[in-house]
Chain A
Amino acid sequence: MKWNTTDVELYITAKEYVDTALVPLIPISLDDRMKQLSSMSEFLSILSMEIEKKFKGRILLIPTFHYVMDDEKKVEGLQIWERKLQQAEFNHIFFLTSDINWKKEESYLSSSLVWIPAINLESLPMEQAREVMKQQVEQIISLFMNEWKKKD
């Protein structure tokens, strides 16, 4: 379910079925990395939307956690989100990112951190971009399903 009025209403009535929260993590920077980061943001938004489409009934797609690139405090910020989500009884919390810097912070988080390298979709023709995206989504889908099976 998405973060909009209709879906949130549905979430409230069907809370017991929605046990998974998905939070995309997207960095922002206004220097020479701007282009690369915007392409990363685009990729990750499409990816998280596709995952939401597949698992609409079990996942709540939380609005993106944006942070300033190289911000030391981003981990603390995300930990607050994580605590809140745990309190809201999400048994599975997934952080989805293309920013490799999160890998070294992984131990500070108790939820699953999914790192997936960003693909520059702009450079591909539409058909091919779709195909590539489909493959990425498939991978993450099986990852999610395994995680669910473990704890079910």
Chain B
Amino acid sequence: MSKRNVSRRQFLNYTLTGVGGFMAAGMLMPMVRFAVDPVLAGGSESDFVATKQKIKDLSTEPTRVDFSFTQVDGWYESEVTNTAWVYKTKDGKIVALSPICKHLGCTVDWGGDKEHPEQFFCPCHYGRYTKDGMNVKGTPPISPLDVFTTKEKDGILYLGQRKPHGEA
């Protein structure tokens, strides 16, 4: 034991700071937790939807992959089927393109135009995109096709969020 005596004033100071600190922490902790929660919750597993496509069956030729999920829209829950054009690049990277034309929202097809078999084709106003989804100059679309984020799990292809080209 030290010989230094703790004065009454010091004792009160210590205890009040201690107790006050606990009280402040008790109030602040939940607030901080609430504030950082969106950051911690980001990138949850459920954003990805399983498809029926096996990764090993993918080729360098874009294949049509349908996938469905339940969408809650206000008070109305429905099963939505979406489509993606999926292929492997030469270095084995998987690319999943959205089939929604960036002009006015029609559905594009791979090789839909006989004169341009190696391009995506929009039947509405003859818009075209190259294989990597870039819009062909001189056709109506003004931006490249959107891209889905992809994931592989147990050899099955999972598709995630749809993002503008270059962000996925």
Contacts and interface: CB of A to CB of B under 8 A. Distances in A.
Interface string B102-129: 0111110000000000000011110000
Range, interface on chain A = 10 to 19
B124 A58 contact: yes
A120 to B, nearest CB: 20
A42 B105 CA distance: 25
Interface stretch (A49-57, A80-88, A95-103): A49-57
Interface residues of B, number: 12
A130 interface: yes
A17 B124 contact: yes
A58 B104 contact: yes
A130 B107 CA distance: 17
Question: Which secondary structure dominates chain B's binding surface?
Answer: loop
A30 interface: no
B81 A55 contact: no
Given A57-B101, A130-B81, A145 B106 contact: no
A10 B106 CA distance: 13
Given A14-B104, A17-B104, A53-B107, A58 B125 contact: yes
Contact of A17 (B81, B107, B125): B125
Contacts of A55: 106-107, 123-124
A68 B103 CA distance: 39
A89 to B, nearest CB: 16
Nearest to A56: B105
A116 to B, nearest CB: 19
B106 A58 contact: yes
B69 to A, nearest CB: 14
A10 B104 contact: yes
A130 B52 CA distance: 15
Interface in A24-78: 53-58
B123 A56 contact: no
Contacts of B125: 17, 57-58
A54 B100 CA distance: 9
Given A56-B106, A57-B122, A58-B124, 17 more contacts: A1-B104, A10-B104, A17-B103, A17-B125, A53-B107, A54-B106, A54-B107, A54-B123, A55-B123, A56-B105, A57-B103, A57-B104, A57-B105, A57-B106, A57-B125, A58-B104, A130-B81
13 contacts: A1-B104, A17-B104, A17-B124, A17-B125, A17-B140, A54-B107, A54-B123, A55-B106, A57-B105, A57-B124, A57-B125, A58-B104, A58-B125
